[in-house]
Amino acid sequence: MVAEGIQGSFDELGRPLHTTAFVVVDLETTGGSSVTEAITEIGAVKVRGGEVLSELQTLVNPGAPIPALISVLTGITDHMVASAPRIGSVLPAFLDLLADGAVVVAHNAPFDVGFLRAACQREGYRWPDPEVLDTARLARRVLTRDEAPDCKLSTLARVFRTSVQPTHRALDDARATVEVLHRLIERVGHIGVQSLEELRTYSSRVTPEQRAKRHLAANLPNAPGVYLFRDGRGRVLYVGTSRDVRTRVRQYFVASEHRTRMAEMVGIAEKVDAIECAHALEASVRELRLIAEHRPRYNRKSKSPERVLWLKLTDEPFPRLSMVRDRRQDGCAYLGPFSSRRAAESALDALHEAFPIRRCTQRLSPKRTSPSCALAGMGRCVAPCEHPDQQSEYADVVAGVHTALTLSPVVVQDSMLDRIDGYATTLRYEEAAVARDRLAGYVRALARQQRLRALADVAELVAASPAPVGGWDIAVIRHGRLAASARVAHGAAVRPHLPGLLATAEVVTPGDGPTPCATQEEMELLLRWLETAGTRIVDITGTWVLPVDGAARARGELDVAREAADPFVDRRGLRPVARLVV
């Protein structure tokens, strides 16, 4: 079957290489560190479409002696730079070359760009943060080891037979880099690499068949959204999300995909659909729902959100803790959800350490006795099997467990901390670490459950977060489920948009449990967004509260203890705070 040719649009091409200006730069320095060493020479060549537009070459007085080894390597001596200008006088001429948005090109670009950025910072000039292309990195992607044993500039100049050979002088090395750049562009140009974006992401590991599929991204939006790869029968192979759907999908066809499964998926894909979203939050939520709906074979996360675990306090004459898959509306106390059995077992062990509740699985009767197990002899179970007439004593234990599952972690926390101190005092540090991990697992689970429950109890919450491009991202959340979303333009008031948004929002019916209307993953995603710096509550119906002595406080204490090892880290957010216009 012959693939049909499709004419790409200029917008699809991105930034065409033949109209892009490149400033190829090379530096000579007194050493390898941009913090402690200085520039001794700058050479730069500005080119566009293969034509040299201008050149810059100047020695620079570093303000310090040049090491003898550097002088031997470059031929630049203290005498040569004695009358040369200082870097502060040279930078304006170099920065003028970048004024029209030119791309900086260098061989081992992090070295040269690092020195230039550091020099601008020291001299009080604003570094324009241009796009950077590294010819060494590009050569590693284009050339095979048989063609070039390494990607040194001298090796590439020899491979491409450049007219200018590198000499460890700035202008000669910059001119040689220009020729290497042009040869690399020629090498990939015949297989369809025509834009700067394609050149930056090029890899020889991308097959011609894979690159030929880039037209599948032609009609996708340059906006936040969800994309779905489909096979020839329309089945969903993979679901992803991006702030710029078209750009992200194109990367699958023009960049190297290190994940073997994804490369295989791209080879099978015949179509890509997109769902444009108001903002990134909506896109992330839709991604979770679509993965759960279609269960794509190439998605690893969120395929089975219903496969979670709960700890349940059973409803029987002598209740016990049980690990179950479903949370039913049976009036029992639950803790969860847990995404893994290991996490559930960790919390269960912490509860068993704190309370002498029975662990046996048989159903006990208050009318007859049965032999007790070893735990009763160790004092770790009140043995209702031996003393069925003492129901009140066991009921007190059950009441404590019920509180620990739903409200307060104090009893478990105190018990486990005492145990940890005892282990540490007797130098049993490994056992102390196990007890610490059990406590942390339990506290995290209870804190998560209380946070989810609090959000699920809110009938309606409207929040706004500053959009990356200005304006506000709006979300309507009902009982922990995203019901509607929108973006308000920069400078516009939020409240006039609410009536229409609320009228078209999804109707959500409340239910029982911490996650009655949405998956745990969706609710945690919404909570992280609500807790992002700058997010504001516009309107709320109901109350959004957490228990005063709940697990949030205990988790905060554990986090403080963990961070105490590095008390001087400044974690304050320093971003400007946007003003919400309602």
Q: Could you tell me the two tokens for 570? A: 């400044």
339-369 burial: b if 16+ Cβ within 10 Å, else e: eeeebbbbbbbbbbbbbbbbebeeebeeeee
Is there a domain that residue 515 lies in? Answer: no
Give domain status of residue 179, yes or no: yes
Q: Which residue has the tokens 């091409």?
A: 13
- Complete DSSP assignment for 2-58: PPPP-PPPHHHH-SBGGG-EEEEEEEEESSS-TTT--EEEEEEEEEETTEEEEEEEE
Question: Residue 251: which CATH number?
Answer: 3.40.1440.10
Whole-number Cα distances in Å, 25 to 108, 341, 544: 11, 56, 57
Shared domain check, 276 and 132? no
Beta-carbon contacts of 293 under 8 Å, excluding residues fewer than 6 positions away, are none
Do 365 and 388 lie in one domain? The reply is yes
Q: Residue 488: helix, strand or coil by DSSP?
A: strand
Q: Which pLDDT score, from 0 to 100, does residue 10 have?
A: 39
Q: How far apart are CA 290 and CA 303, in angstroms?
A: 9
CA distance 84 to 57: 12
Question: In this structure, are 337 and 363 located in the same domain?
Answer: yes
Kindly state whether residues 145 and 233 are assigned to the same domain. Answer: no
Gap between the Cα atoms of 50 and 163, Å rounded? 15
Domain ends where: 268, 294, 320?
294
Domain boundary among 175, 196, 217: 196
Whether 347 is in a domain gets the answer yes
Q: How far apart are CA 57 and CA 54, in angstroms?
A: 10
In this structure, are 268 and 212 located in the same domain?
A: yes
The DSSP output letter for 473 is E
pLDDT of residue 559: 65
pTM above 0.85, yes or no: no
Q: What torsion, rounded to 10 degrees, do the Cα atoms 228, 232, 235, 241 define? A: -10
Phi-psi region of 383 (alpha: psi -120 to 50; beta: other; left: phi over 0): left
Instruction: Give the DSSP per-residue string, 272-341.
Output: EEEEE-SSHHHHHHHHHHHHHHH--TT--SSS-TT--EEEEE--SSS--EEEES---SSS-EEEEEESSH
Pairwise CA distance, residues 432 & 435, whole Å:
5
Q: Report how far residue 381's alpha carbon sits from residue 169's, in angstroms, rounded to the nearest whole number.
A: 81
pLDDT computed for residue 12 by the predictor: 45
Domain containing 108 equals 13-196
Catalytic residue list contains 168: yes
Can you tell me the distance from the alpha carbon of 300 to that of 245, in angstroms, rounded to the nearest whole number?
Answer: 20
| Within a domain: 496 | no
Cross-strand partners of 195:
16
pLDDT attached to residue 356? 87
Compute CA distances 170 → 62, 81, 158, whole Å.
15, 14, 18
- The bridge status of strand 225-230 relative to strand 236-242 is antiparallel
Asked if residue 2 is part of any domain, the answer here is no
Q: Are residues 352 and 415 in the same domain?
A: yes
**What is the domain-level CATH number for residue 131?**
3.30.420.10
76 alpha-carbon distance from chain centroid = 46
Please tell me whether residues 261 and 390 are part of one structural domain.
Answer: no
Same domain? For 209 and 189 the reply is no
Length of the chain: 582
User: Given the structure tokens 């099978």, which residue do they identify?
Assistant: 268
Helix axes 109-123, 135-142, angle to 10 degrees: 160
**Which domain-ending residue is among 196, 216, 247?**
196
Same domain, 251 and 374: no
Residues 50, 110 within the same domain: yes
Domain assignment present for 144: yes
Q: Which two tokens stand for residue 40?
A: 């001794």
Q: 321, 401 in Cβ contact below 8 A?
A: yes
Residue 555 included in any domain: no
Per-residue pLDDT of the chain (582 residues; tens, 9 = 90+): 333 444 444 344 467 888 999 999 999 999 989 989 999 999 999 999 989 999 999 999 999 999 999 999 899 999 999 999 999 999 999 999 998 889 999 999 999 999 999 999 999 999 999 999 999 988 888 888 888 889 999 999 999 999 999 999 999 999 999 999 999 999 887 766 778 877 877 665 666 677 778 888 888 998 999 999 999 999 999 999 999 998 888 888 876 556 667 878 888 899 999 999 999 999 999 999 999 999 998 888 765 666 789 999 998 888 889 999 888 888 899 998 888 899 999 999 999 988 988 888 777 766 666 666 766 656 677 767 776 666 778 888 899 999 999 988 989 999 998 988 998 899 998 998 898 889 989 999 999 999 999 999 999 999 999 998 789 999 999 999 999 999 999 888 888 999 999 999 999 999 888 889 999 999 999 999 999 989 999 999 988 988 777 787 777 767 655 554 444 444 444 444 445 555
Do 34 and 168 belong to one domain? yes
Secondary structure of 440-464 in HEC code, one letter for each residue? HHHHHHHHHHHHHHHHHCCCEEEEE
Burial class (CB in 10 A: 0-12, 13-18, 19+), 80: middle
Asked if the structure places residue 514 within a domain, the reply is no
- 284 and 327 share one domain: no
pLDDT digits (tens, 9 = 90+) for 435-454: 888 998 999 999 999 999 99
Local structure of 406: helix, strand or coil: helix
pLDDT at 368: 62
Tokens of 500: 């229409």
Catalytic one of 168, 182, 215, 497: 168
Contacts of 245 (CB under 8 A, 6+ apart): 220, 221, 222, 223, 224, 225, 226, 227, 274, 276
As for how many domains the chain has, the answer is 3
Per-residue confidence (pLDDT) for residue 6, from 0 to 100? 40
Instruction: List the structure tokens of 18.
Output: 């033949």
